[in-house]
Amino acid sequence: MTVLQNTPSAVLVLAIGVLFGTGVYLLLERPLTRILLGFILISNAVNLMLLVAGGRAGASPIVGNAPQDEPMADPLAQAMTLTAIVITLALTAFILALAYRSWQIHGHDEVADDVEDKRVARAAAANAPAYTDADAEETGQTLDEEAAAVHDETVGDEDEERAR
């Protein structure tokens, strides 16, 4: 039996790297749509990984279809990729719906801050041990005011949080 060469093709490996890199970059953004794009890129990278895991391309993996001495491609890797694609499709649709609903409610689709983070940040700002404040004279702001301002990315959510 002839066996497929299983050294992966450099082009595919490079493509996986690029997709992963750009995907992670997009994931670190705030808008849900960009996160979605990042998710799509990474999932394509992972699908390519699955494909590469099956070895190099060969004859179509149907018994009797390939010439006797030509190795067949690995069908299992392709089957798994196909399953993964379908699952990704469904989840992509779900994130799209989430982003759309977020846009409906807030007028933007940015991922909001963790409530716990905000609470901790506010408590920290309130109790901040302001020993020294190097730039108080330049900016005219105390350390507490600066600390409060730094984490205040979601102005207007305070009331909602208080209601909880």
Partner 1 sequence: MSDLIPGPETWNAATLVPLPVLVPLFAAGLTLALRRYANVQRTISVTALTITTLASAALMFFADAGPVVVDVGGWAAPVGVNLVADRLSALMLTVSGVMLLCVLLYSLGQGVPEGDDLDGGSRVGETIPVAIFHPTYLVLAAGVANAFLTGDLFNLYVGFEILLAASAILLTLGGTAERIRAGSMYVIVTLMSSLVFLAAIALVYAATGTVNMAQLAERLPEIDPTVRTALQLLLLLAFGIKAAVFPLSFWLPDSYPTAPAPVTAVFAGLLTKIGVYAMLRTQVLLFPDDPAVDRLLMVVALLTMVIGIFGAVAQNDVKRLLSFTLVSHIGFMVFGVALASQAGTAAAIFYVVHHISVQTALFLVVGLVEFRGGSTSLDRLGGLARLAPGLAVLFFVPALNLAGIPPLSGFLGKVGLLTEGVRDGSGLAWALVIGSVVTSLLTLYAVVKAWNKAFWQDAPDDVPEDVRLPRGMVLPAGALIAFGLAITVAAGPLYGYAERAAESSMDGTTYVDAVFPDGSDRGTGKSDEITDDATGDDS
Q: Which residues bind partner 1 (CB under 8 A)?
A: 6, 27, 32, 35, 39, 42-43, 46, 49-50, 52-54, 76-77, 80, 83-84, 87, 90-91, 94-95, 98, 101-102, 105-106, 111-112, 114-116, 160, 164
Query: Tokens 């004859």 — which residue?
Result: 59
State both tokens at 135: 């730039």
State both tokens at 26: 């997009």
CA 35, 36, 42, 46 torsion: positive or negative? positive
- Helix/strand/coil for 34: helix
Residue number with CB closer to partner 1 (53 or 73): 53
Q: Tell the smallest beta-carbon distance from residue 6 to partner 1 (Å).
A: 8
Contact 78, 62 (CB under 8 A): no
Q: Tell the smallest beta-carbon distance from residue 133 to partner 1 (Å).
A: 27
Q: Tell the smallest beta-carbon distance from residue 141 to partner 1 (Å).
A: 28
